[in-house]
A and B are shown apart, each in its own frame.
Chain A
Amino acid sequence: MNLTLRVWRQANRHEPGHFEEYYLRDLNPNMSFLEMLDVLNEQLTREGREPVAFDHDCREGICGSCGLVINGEPHGPGYRVTTCQTYLRAFRDGDTITVEPFRAAAFPLIKDLVVDRSAFDRIMQAGGFISVNAGSAPDANAILIPKDVADKAMDAAQCIGCGACVAACKNASAMLFVAAKVSHLNLLPQGQPEKTRRTLAMVQQMDAEGFGACTVTGSCEAACPKGISLNFIAKLNRDYLSALLLGK
């Protein structure tokens, strides 16, 4: 198949960016979207032009490195898949595809399609952990956790931290990410001692990073490659309220 790509090119956050158009011929529909960008980059390199910078690593949908806005949708048209798990069979021969970076004030651009998502790391550093030093744990089966609680915690814990929720949100809110992270730990018995402090600290850091407010439109859940549920945002709001009341 043949495709036309409109790709966002920007040398760094200080220079203005623009779209460049590229034509790709004889692509295999079983190619992944990133493999198509590999082909483009090989072509650009041979032509003596600079390849397009984009983040990627595992290419199996789990590391959370990749993240492109494809035709206006974070991670593209696929349902619950990352960019790397998007295949050309999702497009039609002759299509023009627009490729942009995740856009949010809290994710400053680095180059082309690469953005800085370290705000997520700083939110985690504010409280996304259970304080237990190596060596001081009791026997694993001494902590009984009902299967449905463990399953629910796992539903939240599978967030890959890609940032698609932020890119999809009109307010660039990070509520779904923070909700997933807070809920994973707050649901588990091990997470109870630090629950109040964690909830307050992580929300505070989220605000300090400049993410927008949540108006519960649900675009985050729709864009999330792991299908993290909006219900976790409700839970975060609940946990936050009770943390405020407990006032620690």
Chain B
Amino acid sequence: MGAVNMELKSQIPPGPLAQKWERHKANLRLVSPGNKRKYEIIVVGTGLAGGSAAATLAELGYNVKSFCIQDSPRRAHSVAAQGGINAAKNYQNDGDSVERLFYDTLKGGDFRAREANVYRLAEVSANIIDQCVAMGVPFAREYGGTLTNRSFGGAQVSRTFYARGQTGQQLLLGCYSAMCRQIAAGQIKMYPRTEMLDLVVVNGHAKGIVTRNLITGKIESHAADAVVLATGGYGNAYYLSTSGRGSNATAIWRAYRRGAFFANPCFTQIHPTCIPVSGDYQSKLTLMSESLRNDGRVWVPKKKGDTRPPNEIPEDERDYYLERKYPSYGNLAPRDIASRAAKEVCDEGRGVGPGGLGVYLDFRDAIRRLGRKRVEERYGNLFDMYHEITGENAYETPMRIYPAIHYTMGGLWVDYNLMSNLPGLFVIGEANFSDHGANRLGASALMQGLADGYFILPYTIGNYLATQKPDQRPKPDQPEFRAAEQQVRERVKKLLAIRGRKTVTEFHKQVGKILWDYCGMTRSRQGLERAIQLIGELREEFWENVNVPGSDEDLNQSLERAGRVADYLELGELIARDALTREESCGCHFRVEYQTPDHECLRNDRDFAHVACWEFTGDGNTPVRHIEPLIFEAVQPTERSYK
């Protein structure tokens, strides 16, 4: 274990909120152009955060090594984001501003995010759109040639930029093209199909990683002056999620085990509009973009167990429950609220479809109002996707949707400079915790990933590097690297040697079900205690009874998954433990013991207006919970109402 810096210094700069970032930039240490080429930076992950960071750092003249598990950086799961990206451009002249985007995001997160980070995010949002357009991202446009916008949940203005239903793909291709340019220029050395299996800490600083080549099985060390993790979220701990099948928590979990603090792991977002589960063979859940709630209306029958086809249920027997409960936001209520509301009506026995686990998302009125052609233009590819998966035509019959795990607001703890408590380790995008509090608003993930990579990290990393001497960079044959490599090799051998009776997938499904049942849309003390116990037992069984076929010397996808599931069996327990110790309800974290009379979240600002930061203290030991108090200077946390 490396030395752990016990003090959590958030490094929030002084001064008025609106001036913090500008002033901070002016005070950050710089690395001169001539010296930048002496530094090596490792960037793990090539989604929006990692891709934009790798390209931008290379543009600045640093030597970048970029790693991804996919066969090409263009395939990272940011590619699947559909609906759009927020920016405070106010092109629609509807009263948007940096202040408003900041407030919406902070309130959307139920006042559990760091105020200064959120403000900075809103501030740089406009630059992201400029940058992406200049790179050739084909955003949707008006006939006059200007950019167009739509609305997303939790906002009363239209600030979301989009490229049909493939915004994430187009933004990612933008990052990827910028990376391509730097790969060709020799500034980025690209390592596709390579998985980070450990972080190397030298004298308390993150100085490298250990990787496995997924094709040859070769285990290698890479040293650098700083390590950037941009490896996304850990939603796949729940087995069924909207994440890509390869998305995993191993990089951040290995960093946690090396001393980086894990912040708010229980903040896991459950998205209200996903295609319902159809069978136990199911491998993943597919999201239907939140943008559909601009025009689609969510409802269930008023009567319990109403099995009539939806089109035969008359208007006065339908309950448009979001419009009824949250009249000012209606169908665009934020995700956590819309998900819980769906669960509530299903628990009452009013859910639709197989097993009663679904609600309708209906476009009948939108088609009447706009005509089928306009609806097709706006959402055509989403309707097609729904049709491919379910075989149903959503122009004629309402979509059926149900909540699913989608995003994780929690992640490794970082300070205002996006550096973890381990000096030299930077964490960006979904992998960190800082900007979304207890609930992320739609179209904000893309914004955060690109803000971190294009406009924040490139400034703040220099502040650290300026304190490091590149000629003293550790060598990959130093003992710290050798020891970490040895541990990785032993773990791989151990996984292959068990040859038990249960497959990796069986364990994965089991841990996922425990988390979904006890640490999903609602949580209770009793359930969470049970989850901790069950996951512990499952973890023990895993290491005695898992069956990982094949060898470690070639492409072995079972082995890859086994390592990741082994980590979920540790992380899952931490998620439950964090949920157990947060004795309040906020955003996505709904503890049944803490609710208002009308079943909304009951926050406890006196005791829990803080970030819970978990420190690893060795296998078999209970991790230590540290806190970073959340100080609100500009905004007074209020009851978060969308009524």
- Chain A positions near chain B (C-beta within 8 angstroms): 11-12, 28, 30-32, 34-35, 38-39, 41-42, 44-46, 48-51, 53, 55-65, 78, 81, 85, 87, 89, 110-111, 114, 116-118, 120-121, 124-126, 128-141, 143-147, 150-151, 153-154, 157-158, 160-161, 184-185, 188, 190-191
B93 at the interface (CB under 8 A from A): no
Q: Which of B91, B131, B183, B385 contacts A125 (CB 8 A)?
A: B183
B138 at the interface (CB under 8 A from A): yes
B70 close to A114 (CB less than 8 A): no
Q: Which of B88-139 contact A (CB under 8 A)?
A: 89, 91, 127, 129-136, 138-139
Query: Which of B276-284, B404-412, B615-623 participates in binding chain A?
Result: B276-284
Q: Which of B210-239 contact A (CB under 8 A)?
A: 215
Q: Which of A65, A116, A130, A135 contacts B136 (CB 8 A)?
A: A130
B283 close to A38 (CB less than 8 A): yes
A31 close to B281 (CB less than 8 A): yes
Cβ contacts under 8 Å, A45 to chain B: 503, 547, 549, 558
User: CA of A191 to CA of B135 in the docked complex: distance in angstroms?
Assistant: 8
B246 close to A141 (CB less than 8 A): no
User: CA of A121 to CA of B51 in the docked complex: distance in angstroms?
Assistant: 14
User: CA of A141 to CA of B287 in the docked complex: distance in angstroms?
Assistant: 31
Which of A45, A50, A140, A144 lies at the interface centre, i.e. has the most chain B CB atoms within 10 A of its CB?
A: A140
Minimum CB distance partner of A31 in chain B: B281
B445 at the interface (CB under 8 A from A): no
The minimal Cβ–Cβ distance linking B197 to chain A, given in whole angstroms, is 19
B164 at the interface (CB under 8 A from A): yes
Q: Which of B181, B388, B389, B558 contacts A131 (CB 8 A)?
A: B181
Indicate whether A51 sits within 8 Å of B163 (C-beta atoms), given known contacts A59-B245, A81-B388, A121-B180.
no
Cβ contacts under 8 Å, B146 to chain A: 141, 144
Cβ contacts under 8 Å, B136 to chain A: 130, 153, 184-185, 188, 190-191
A-B contacts besides A121-B74, A133-B59, 10 pairs, CB < 8 Å: A44-B549, A85-B385, A89-B391, A120-B72, A124-B177, A125-B180, A129-B180, A137-B130, A137-B135, A147-B145
Cβ contacts under 8 Å, B140 to chain A: 150
A-B contacts at CB below 8 angstroms, number: 215
Cβ contacts under 8 Å, A136 to chain B: 134
B181 close to A58 (CB less than 8 A): no
User: CA of A12 to CA of B143 in the docked complex: distance in angstroms?
Assistant: 53
Annotate B38-71 by CB proximity to A: 1 below 8 A, 0 otherwise. Answer: 0000000000000010011001000000000011
B454 at the interface (CB under 8 A from A): yes
Indicate whether A63 sits within 8 Å of B138 (C-beta atoms), given known contacts A78-B388, A144-B144, A158-B169.
no
B283 close to A143 (CB less than 8 A): no
Nearest 6 Cβ contacts at the A-B interface = A144-B145, A137-B134, A129-B177, A137-B130, A154-B138, A57-B244
A49 close to B549 (CB less than 8 A): yes
User: CA of A42 to CA of B164 in the docked complex: distance in angstroms?
Assistant: 37
A64 close to B181 (CB less than 8 A): no
User: CA of A45 to CA of B561 in the docked complex: distance in angstroms?
Assistant: 13
User: CA of A184 to CA of B177 in the docked complex: distance in angstroms?
Assistant: 12
User: CA of A30 to CA of B283 in the docked complex: distance in angstroms?
Assistant: 12
A141 close to B79 (CB less than 8 A): no
B71 close to A116 (CB less than 8 A): yes
B80 close to A62 (CB less than 8 A): yes
Cβ contacts under 8 Å, B173 to chain A: 157
Cβ contacts under 8 Å, B91 to chain A: 141
B184 at the interface (CB under 8 A from A): yes
Cβ contacts under 8 Å, A184 to chain B: 136, 138
A118 close to B72 (CB less than 8 A): yes
B458 at the interface (CB under 8 A from A): yes
Minimum CB distance partner of A157 in chain B: B138
Indicate whether A134 sits within 8 Å of B141 (C-beta atoms), given known contacts A117-B71, A129-B181, A154-B163.
no
Minimum CB distance partner of A79 in chain B: B388
Chain B contact residue count (CB 8 A cutoff): 78
B317 at the interface (CB under 8 A from A): no
User: CA of A191 to CA of B286 in the docked complex: distance in angstroms?
Assistant: 34
The minimal Cβ–Cβ distance linking B149 to chain A, given in whole angstroms, is 11
Cβ contacts under 8 Å, A117 to chain B: 71-72
User: CA of A128 to CA of B176 in the docked complex: distance in angstroms?
Assistant: 9
Q: Which of B79, B130, B281, B388 contacts A62 (CB 8 A)?
A: B79
Indicate whether A161 sits within 8 Å of B74 (C-beta atoms), given known contacts A111-B554, A137-B130, A140-B129.
yes
User: CA of A27 to CA of B538 in the docked complex: distance in angstroms?
Assistant: 28
The minimal Cβ–Cβ distance linking B551 to chain A, given in whole angstroms, is 9
Cβ contacts under 8 Å, B129 to chain A: 140
A137 close to B131 (CB less than 8 A): yes
Indicate whether A56 sits within 8 Å of B550 (C-beta atoms), given known contacts A38-B283, A118-B72, A133-B59.
no
B147 at the interface (CB under 8 A from A): yes
The minimal Cβ–Cβ distance linking B171 to chain A, given in whole angstroms, is 11
Cβ contacts under 8 Å, B279 to chain A: 28, 30-31
9 A-B interface contacts by CB (under 8 A): A46-B503, A57-B70, A62-B166, A63-B79, A121-B183, A132-B135, A141-B91, A150-B140, A161-B72
B257 at the interface (CB under 8 A from A): no
A134 close to B77 (CB less than 8 A): no
B269 at the interface (CB under 8 A from A): no
User: CA of A131 to CA of B71 in the docked complex: distance in angstroms?
Assistant: 24
User: CA of A60 to CA of B284 in the docked complex: distance in angstroms?
Assistant: 9
A145 close to B141 (CB less than 8 A): yes
Indicate whether A134 sits within 8 Å of B79 (C-beta atoms), given known contacts A118-B72, A147-B142.
no
Minimum CB distance partner of A114 in chain B: B555
Q: Which of A87, A111, A139, A157 contacts B170 (CB 8 A)?
A: A157
The minimal Cβ–Cβ distance linking A227 to chain B, given in whole angstroms, is 10
Cβ contacts under 8 Å, B550 to chain A: 50-51
Cβ contacts under 8 Å, B558 to chain A: 41, 45, 51
A132 close to B145 (CB less than 8 A): no
Cβ contacts under 8 Å, A34 to chain B: 283
